[in-house]
Amino acid sequence: MDFAVLSVDRHRMKTDGKGITTLVALAGCPLKCPFCINKEWLAAEEKIKRRSVNELVEELAIDHCYFLYTGGGVTFGGGEPLLHSNQIAKFSEVCPPEWSINIETSLNVPPEQLQPVLTERFSYIIDCKAMQADIYMRYTGTEIGQMLHNLQQIVRKIPQERYVVKVPLIPEYSTGEDVEESIKCLRELGVPKDNIVTFKYRTF
């Protein structure tokens, strides 16, 4: 049960959760987003480093004091970290309980891959891309159904203070009106207004 790690980025503040966090980027993603910031990394098999759960805990423990005194911890990103949900669940059992564990995800995975981490131990930073099926398909190359199903599970089972949903304005793919429509759809699903964050994708 190894992690496929692309990179480890330490001492991050206010970008991946509370306090000081370490971002662990994991390999693999089901989406084909044109503006992916990690496109080159995800395509570079030679950059993948295998780490057992215990090895990763030991590697990140160098920042234990930072995590402890700031309420921070580890953020799993990618790629799509839910492809590694069993490893993340095991990581949560091995690492110190004081570490926060954040999952930065698109949620577009089979529901069974969400289940191991669908507990209050984890916090979620969700990039929904768009709530319109046509925009979602054009931008990601993937159907929206799994993301919607998993988002409903998050809303039902994860406390409000443990998740946010990011709604991007995607140049060439969505407009400000589309973003407003996505926000309306999220509110109808039960996502609180304060849990929705809007931003604009950078193009490269």
Q: What is the model's pTM?
A: 0.94
Residue scoring higher pLDDT (4 or 42): 4
Tens-place pLDDT, residues 31-54: 999 988 776 555 566 788 999 999
Those residues with Cβ within 8 angstroms of residue 42's Cβ, 6 or more apart along the chain or in another chain:
6, 27, 28, 29, 36, 78, 79
Identify the pLDDT of residue 133: 98
Residue type, 80: E
Q: Which domains does the chain show, CATH number per domain?
A: 2-200 (3.20.20.70)
Tens-place pLDDT, residues 63-112: 999 999 999 999 999 889 999 999 999 999 999 999 999 999 999 999 99
